[in-house]
Amino acid sequence: MIPDICWSLIRAGVDDPALDAAYEYCRRMTLSREGDLFGLGAGLVPAARRPHLWAWVQAVVRPDDLLDTDGPVAVRRADLDAWTALVRDAVARGGAADPVARAWLHTMRTCGIDPAAYLDWLTALRTDLTATGYATHADLDRYVVDVAVPFTDWLLRVLDLPAERLRDHCVTLARAQQLTNIIRDTGDDARRLGRVYLPGEDLTRFGVAPADLCRPRATRPVRALIRFETERAHALWTQARAALPALPFRIQVVWTMGITYYEEILRAIARHDYDVLAAGRRGFTPVWPASARS
């Protein structure tokens, strides 16, 4: 039997040993992530698209991980700048030694993703180094559209889906995912990074001060705030489900897995009585059975 990685690379038309190794690296790194949603979902994606999915995951999480470390802002900025320079150089030279950059460059070419759009996205991510809060939900939404919509659009292209026709769905999906992550990470972001993504107008409405989000346990007003935000996120996921019939069946399955994954995060938060401060992000991360991760 041909191993999945080999069959996927054959179907994707990849026959360069260095590129094979780069995609294999992306696959292993994707499978190693806790709560391995995309690692499991890749098995339902057509074989020819799997290598591109692995490269997409790593191209998105690499800069995100650089920004979410505990180091000083100057160090995180330097790390992001280094990654940006590496990708820019790879685009200019048509290749890279770094396995993620090598695989992602090939994926962008194959899937019709503009490298300039990826570099612009890396610039937009720098907002996380300076912004410490958003006054209104509209302000937060603009940040989400700038940061999350692009990589969701690239996912559609990686899966060979009609990105333009599914644009509205792409935006809804990005909003739902980002809001869910923001809710889950509320305490972690406030304590470690000094960031409060939840809108200031919502904090005021529920009588919550930013310092309240740094406590070891959530107060009653914080729980009420988090419940309000989870209800908003649930509504977005309901909208996201409405687009499922427009997708090919196998992609519907993958999309349903993703929506269910994030809805489970919200249900776990509810089971903890909306105390996202005590459990931390790891307490709300669904983990697939080990037997499903291959």
- The pLDDT of residue 207 is 98
- The pLDDT of residue 244 is 83
Dihedral angle sign, alpha carbons of residues 247, 40, 62, 47: negative
Residue 266 token pair: 């919200």
- The pLDDT of residue 2 is 45
Cα torsion 119, 120, 124, 130 to 10°: value is 70
- The pLDDT of residue 289 is 45
Residues of the chain with pLDDT under 50: 1-2, 289-294
What spatial distance separates the first Cα and last Cα of the chain, rounded to whole Å?
15
Tell me the one-letter amino acid at 157.
R
- The pLDDT of residue 118 is 97
CA angle 149-152-156, nearest 5°?
Answer: 135
pLDDT digits (tens, 9 = 90+) for 151-173: 888 988 998 887 777 777 878 88
Residue 271 CA to residue 146 CA, distance in Å, equals: 32
Residue 47 CA to residue 280 CA, distance in Å, equals: 36
Which residue segments constitute the domains of the chain, with CATH numbers given? 1-130 (1.10.600.10), 132-286 (1.10.600.10)
Residue 240 token pair: 């996201």
pLDDT digits (tens, 9 = 90+) for 207-259: 999 999 999 999 999 999 999 999 999 999 999 888 788 777 777 887 888 88
- The pLDDT of residue 292 is 44
One-letter-per-residue 3-state SS of 244-263:
HHHCCHHHHHHHHHHHHHHH
